[in-house]
Structures are given as C-alpha cells and as structure tokens.
C-alpha cells in the first residue's frame, strides 16, 4: 500500500470537506445590509434609526445627488463578533415630502433564513431586498397621503350647509 498516496488523498479530502463546511458555516456569518431609501414626492427630513440586533457600520445619512435630500443610505453588520455575524434587524425613520409624513423602513437579515424588508405605512411605498450574505435593500416612497382639506367632509359647524340651520326655517 502506498502511504504517500493515501496521505495526499486524505489531505485533499480534508481540504475539500473543510472548504464546504467553512463556506456553509460562514454563508451568512459575515452578512451585511446595504440600505438605500429613495423618495419621489419630496425630500427627506428628521432622521431617526434603531437596531434591535446588529449595528450600523455607516449610520443612516442624507444623500444629496441633486441638491435635495431625496435619498438615504446606510450599512449594517451583525454584532456576534468584532467582524460581524448574527442577525441584523432594525429600522430607519424619516419624514418625507413637504408635509413631513413619517415613513419607517424595516429590514431583517437573519443569520439563518430569508431576508425581509417593509415600509410603514404600506400604502406609501415598497421595498425589495436581495438574499445572501451581502444583501441590498432598496426602499422607494412613491406616494404620500393627500392632505385633508377643510370642508371636504361637509364642512364644520361654522361653514357649509351641514350643521348650520340658518335660513332653513322661516
């Protein structure tokens, strides 16, 4: 029996098995989320953010591509070790548009499982997030609630015809 040949074959097997195990173990261990939020109805203002799990490497900040605050960017990593790992879960809140409507951008990159994101309120925008250990999350604010105009629901007690009995009886 050729012991040198067995040693080489066993060494190659250990290297291959080790590479498979290490890649499986670290698949999402060094995960990051690169976040981008875009608003079309008007600029962002009044920024706040929080992480339930993980940490911001680059905190959310305004980006001024055309002089307006119509983009936000951030970068997160898990906090299981100094170099990352573990869950990343948090949110960024910013007011959007000229009426300063608060919009919340939620993101979750679990150590195991599917990456998810969301916009609150859901009627104002959408999000998409890629899967894997280097996720990209893009949030888009497309429409904001219309302002409620005075008198739109029949008026108040001092205007319009509803709730005002003047001129109805002789």
pLDDT tens, position by position, 12-41: 334 333 333 333 344 445 688 999 999 988
66 inside domain:
yes
CATH number of the domain to which 49 belongs: 2.60.270.50
pLDDT of residue 13: 38
94 inside domain:
yes
Mean pLDDT of the chain: 76
9 inside domain:
no
pLDDT of residue 126: 96
Residue 21 CA, chain-centre distance (Å), reads 31
Q: How many domains does the chain have?
A: 1
pLDDT: is 28 or 83 the higher one? 83
Q: Classify residue 147 by burial, with Cβ atoms within 10 Å: 0-12, 13-18, 19+.
A: exposed
pLDDT of residue 133: 84
68 inside domain:
yes
8 inside domain:
no
Which span out of 24-33, 36-45, 68-77, 118-127 was modeled with the highest average pLDDT? 118-127
Strand partners, 89: 53, 108
Report the distance separating Cα 65 and Cα 73, nearest Å. 12
In percent, the amount of the chain with pLDDT more than 90 equals: 49
In percent, the amount of the chain with pLDDT more than 70 equals: 66
102 inside domain:
yes
Going from the C-alpha of 86 to that of each of 19, 42, 130, 134, 146, the distances in angstroms are 21, 35, 17, 13, 41
22 inside domain:
no
pLDDT of residue 153: 53
21 inside domain:
no
Q: What pTM did the predictor assign? A: 0.69
120: containing domain:
27-141
Residue 146 CA, chain-centre distance (Å), reads 24
């Amino acid at each position: 029996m050729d012991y040198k040949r067995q040693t080489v074959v066993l060494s190659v097997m250990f290297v291959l098995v080790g590479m498979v195990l290490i890649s499986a173990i670290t698949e999402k261990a060094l995960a990051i989320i690169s976040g981008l939020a875009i608003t079309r109805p008007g600029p962002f203002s009044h920024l706040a953010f929080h992480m339930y799990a993980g940490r911001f490497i680059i905190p959310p900040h305004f980006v001024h591509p055309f002089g307006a605050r119509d983009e936000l960017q951030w970068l997160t990593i898990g906090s299981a070790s100094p170099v990352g790992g573990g869950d990343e879960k948090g949110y960024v809140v910013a007011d959007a548009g000229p009426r300063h409507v608060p919009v919340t951008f939620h993101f979750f990159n679990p150590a195991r499982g599917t990456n998810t994101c969301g916009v609150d309120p859901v009627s104002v925008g959408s999000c998409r997030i890629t899967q894997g250990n280097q996720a990209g999350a893009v949030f888009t604010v497309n429409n904001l609630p219309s302002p409620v105009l005075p008198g739109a629901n029949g008026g108040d007690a001092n205007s319009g015809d509803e709730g005002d009995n003047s001129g109805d009886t002789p």
